[in-house]
Amino acid sequence: MKTLDVAIVGAGAAGVAAGRLLAASGLDVLLIEATDRIGGRAHTAVSDGLHFDLGCGWLHSADRNPWASLAPELGFHVDRTTPPWRSQFRDLGFPAAEQRAASAAFGRFEQRLRETPLASDRASDLLEPGDRWTPYLEALSGYINGTELEHLSVRDYLAYADAETGVNWRVVEGYGTLVAAAARGVPVTLDTPVSTIDASRRALRLTTPRGTLDATSVIVTIPTDVLASGALRLPPRAVDHIDAATRLPLGLADKIIFRLADCEGFEPDTQVLGNPHSVRTASYHLRPFGRPLIEGFVGGAAAREFEADGDAMAAFALDELAGLFGSGIRNRLTPIAQSRWGRLPFSQGSYSHALPGHADARAVLASDIDGRIYFAGEACSALDFSTAHGAYQTGLSSAQGILQNRGIAFAGAKFKS
């Protein structure tokens, strides 16, 4: 049996980035993906010729996001329209004065996070008792972090906030389509979950339903909840990494996509909030790219609730939209797609957050084991966690570590497109 130079477990953003660099450097590489597609939590779907992202959709920190640079090289189009939450937030049920008050409340909360030392490191401990904007702040945490403030490390949250540049663009053809296209030229096998990595031999042995394969090095890029579940059995030396994964659980954020039969009255790329005074509410992106679609977005406890009942999210979103636009909107909307990231066995959630007191777990998870087993993925990023570009950078870092150990130059390497 031939021994691979590098086996990469998971063909999401991190695995694809690592595979591109390693393959371009001449190594024998294989992306091993458990599902039937490339992209991981980047997933673009198509209905009636309309593209929409069920996973990550925005090129956050786009002015330094490597996917934004790579997209034109691969023939993709980057849209630089200002996000609707920054410039086109409509005032239906949320008047301009209330929007300013809500924004000020969020600003005060973030200021307390930055300036008030907390032994607990728990974000919810800095909520102001009786503040009427607390439900709004919790709803924002659901969108941003996928979880409630009581489960959120202040130190970890602020590390990301410091990294965000505020520049957010989109890929016209879809972020998921871009990630999948970037794997072109990298060998990949789909529908092949890895169940065990055995380090007792000279070569690392990986067990899959299709048989075993050997590799000199392995990069593990699976999401933290999957890693913590034991679905992939790792060598005993990985106990600290598994423990770190449990401290970096995945929050949950889901989307529902409606087809809009009549676009009259709906300005392209605008946004509304279902109920600014309820934590159980969704945000709605109206006509993204001018397309006849409405994209609903909900996070945290509400997303978990809706995933438990397959029809609940569509019914809830229709009720909120009818409350904003009138009951006639029901006849103009058809649900065409919905994500359920928590229900997918090889994701089990959306993006990671550190539990209070465990911001340092990211560095532990990102460390390698004996220069043989590496870990990558958004949860391994100290500054850009929860993003596809954070995943990309960690995949690149792991690949560079392998090349450095082999004495192969990688500085300034040009990816083939």
Task: Give the pLDDT confidence score for residue 414 in this predicted structure.
Answer: 43
Task: Give the pLDDT confidence score for residue 166 in this predicted structure.
Answer: 87
Going by pLDDT thresholds of 50, 70 and 90, the confidence category of residue 411 is low
pLDDT > 70: percent of the chain: 97
pLDDT > 90: percent of the chain: 92
Strands 29-32, 188-189: pairing kind: parallel
Task: Give the pLDDT confidence score for residue 218 in this predicted structure.
Answer: 98
Task: Give the pLDDT confidence score for residue 165 in this predicted structure.
Answer: 85
Short-list 7, 110, 84, 407, CA closest to 272: 84
Task: Give the pLDDT confidence score for residue 255 in this predicted structure.
Answer: 98
Mean pLDDT of 302-312: 93
Mean pLDDT of 111-133: 96
Identify the residue whose tokens are 């679609």.
293
Mean pLDDT of 172-186: 98
Over residues 20-43, the pLDDT tens digits come to: 999 999 999 999 999 999 999 999
Instruction: With both helix axes pointing from N to C terminus, report the angle between 96-115 and 154-163 in degrees, rounded to the nearest 10.
Output: 110
Q: Is the pLDDT of residue 384 over 90?
A: yes
Task: Give the pLDDT confidence score for residue 109 in this predicted structure.
Answer: 97
Short-list 174, 179, 169, 170, CA closest to 13: 179
Write down all domains in the chain, each with its CATH number in brackets: 3-79+171-249+352-405 (3.50.50.60), 84-166+251-343 (3.90.660)
Query: Quick count: other Cβ atoms within 10 Å of Cβ 235?
Result: 16
Mean pLDDT of 145-154: 98
Q: Which tokens is 326 given?
A: 């009138």
Could you tell me the pTM of the whole model? 0.95
Q: Is the pLDDT of residue 410 over 80?
A: no
Mean pLDDT of 76-105: 88
- Separation between Cα atoms, residue 148 and residue 143, nearest integer Å: 10
- Separation between Cα atoms, residue 206 and residue 195, nearest integer Å: 7
